């Protein structure tokens, strides 16, 4: 694809001074895991013929770069299940991005490593909710711990920039905090603990399994020495460096929402753009250009909330986390 020119003709700045420069692209809503807090029992995936095509995704992303998007993260569902993943990445790779990454459950990461190594898609957020095989099975409902663990270590060794996402689940994995700290110390990989968000099925687990970042930090203080690192203005996480070298972050979307500094738009696997994880309404960007595209983007960012919307019933795998 030819790169559109000139770049950053416009900046997308909303009425609250938030400069929108990050784009999450959900490549599909299907997944090969069934994490308790994400995947409903009755799986209902978008038919393939309704997915935005590789060409549409690349065209939309290329157009959004003109409006100041400089960071793209691919997600899903499970993005590595997309058959044309490599085509999409190769084309997006030509865009002038400051940061390009993907979020994955890593079941199929091994087979993509040598491909990814030769692209700019270097920032991998890998979900790992437990360091114990049986517990991993209980949470994800797949017996893939060894595969995931080996792949993430290989990715780190290959020089890709790996971070771990671990959803905090009271009574399910909150007894593993020390092990995650030791894992980070040993591997040099940053672990980010995500508060469980009230999205989709997680609404039904919330009372039983939510545990706040503060509760975990208090527990960590009893045993470990660590210092908070300075955080960029639109960062979603706050991060700590431990005396032993571990790097631990928190994304406390429930107890410390960061909507006031949010700089993201979300492109769904259906080609619709949404202003927020917690908003269902989307505008299809397929085929939109020029004034029509700008109008759709302006409409979308006008809807971007500044305060956390309490909950959404739409499942997370459909939104694209």
Residue 34 touches which member of ligand SAM, ligand SF4, none, C-beta under 5-8 Å by kind: ligand SF4
Which positions from 95 through 124 interact with ligand SF4, judged by CB under 6 A? 105
In angstroms, the CA 61 to CA 43 distance is 28
φ, ψ of residue 4 in degrees (nearest 5): -65, 150
Beta carbon nearer to ligand SF4, 199 or 276: 199
Among 78, 176, 195, 247, binds ligand SF4 (CB under 6 A): 78
Tell me: does residue 166 bind ligand SF4 (CB under 6 A): no
317, 39 in Cβ contact below 8 A?
A: yes
The binding track of 126-165 with respect to ligand SF4, each residue x by CB under 6 A or -, is -x--------------------------------------
Strand partners, 190: 163
Within 10 A of 269 (CB to CB), how many other CB atoms are there? Answer: 27
Nearest approach, Cβ of residue 39 and ligand SAM (Å) = 9
Residue 165 touches which member of ligand SAM, ligand SF4, none, C-beta under 5-8 Å by kind: ligand SAM
Residue 75 touches which member of ligand SAM, ligand SF4, none, C-beta under 5-8 Å by kind: ligand SAM
In angstroms, the CA 104 to CA 31 distance is 10
Among 54, 91, 101, 103, binds ligand SAM (CB under 6 A): 103
CA-atom Rg of the chain in angstroms: 19
In angstroms, the CA 294 to CA 138 distance is 45
Tell me: does residue 209 bind ligand SF4 (CB under 6 A): no
3-class state of residue 320 by DSSP? coil
CB neighbour class for 136 (10 Å; exposed up to 12, middle 13-18, buried from 19): buried
Beta carbon nearer to ligand SF4, 45 or 224: 45
- The DSSP element (H or E) to which 292 belongs, if any, is helix 290-302
Q: Pairing between strand 71-75 and 99-104? A: parallel
Question: Site residues (CB under 6 A) for ligand SF4?
Answer: 31, 33-35, 38-39, 76-78, 105, 127, 316-317
Question: Site residues (CB under 6 A) for ligand SAM?
Answer: 31, 37-38, 75-76, 78, 103-105, 127, 165, 167, 194, 196-197, 199, 202, 316-317, 321
């Amino acid at each position: 694809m030819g790169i559109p020119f000139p770049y950053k003709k416009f900046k997308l700045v909303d009425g609250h001074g938030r400069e929108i420069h990050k784009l999450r692209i959900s490549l599909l809503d299907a997944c090969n895991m069934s994490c308790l807090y994400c995947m409903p029992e009755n799986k209902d995936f978008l038919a393939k013929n309704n997915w935005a095509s590789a060409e549409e995704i690349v065209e939309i992303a290329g157009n959004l770069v003109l409006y100041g998007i400089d960071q793209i993260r691919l997600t899903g569902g499970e993005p590595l299940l997309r058959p044309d993943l490599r085509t999409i990445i190769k084309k997006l790779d030509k865009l002038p991005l400051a940061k390009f990454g993907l979020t994955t459950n890593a079941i199929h990461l091994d087979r993509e490593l040598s491909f990814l190594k030769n692209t700019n898609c270097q920032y991998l957020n890998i979900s790992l909710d437990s360091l114990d095989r049986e517990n991993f099975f209980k949470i994800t409902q797949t017996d893939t711990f060894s595969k995931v663990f080996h792949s993430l270590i290989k990715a780190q060794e290959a020089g890709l920039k790996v971070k771990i996402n671990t959803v905090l689940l009271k009574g399910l994995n909150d007894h593993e905090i020390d092990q995650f700290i030791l894992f980070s110390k040993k591997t040099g990989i940053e672990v980010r603990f995500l508060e469980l968000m009230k999205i989709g099925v997680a609404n039904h687990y919330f009372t039983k399994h939510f545990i706040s970042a503060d509760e975990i930090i208090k527990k960590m203080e009893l045993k470990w020495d660590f210092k908070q690192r300075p955080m960029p203005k639109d960062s979603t996480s706050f991060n700590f460096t431990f005396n032993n070298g571990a790097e631990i972050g928190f994304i406390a979307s429930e107890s410390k929402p960061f909507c006031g500094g949010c700089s993201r738009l979300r492109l769904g696997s259906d080609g619709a753009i949404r202003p927020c994880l917690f908003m269902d309404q989307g505008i299809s960007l397929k085929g939109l250009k020029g004034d029509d595209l700008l109008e759709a983007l302006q409409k979308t960012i006008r809807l971007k909330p500044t305060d956390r919307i309490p909950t959404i019933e739409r499942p997370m795998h459909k939104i694209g986390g």
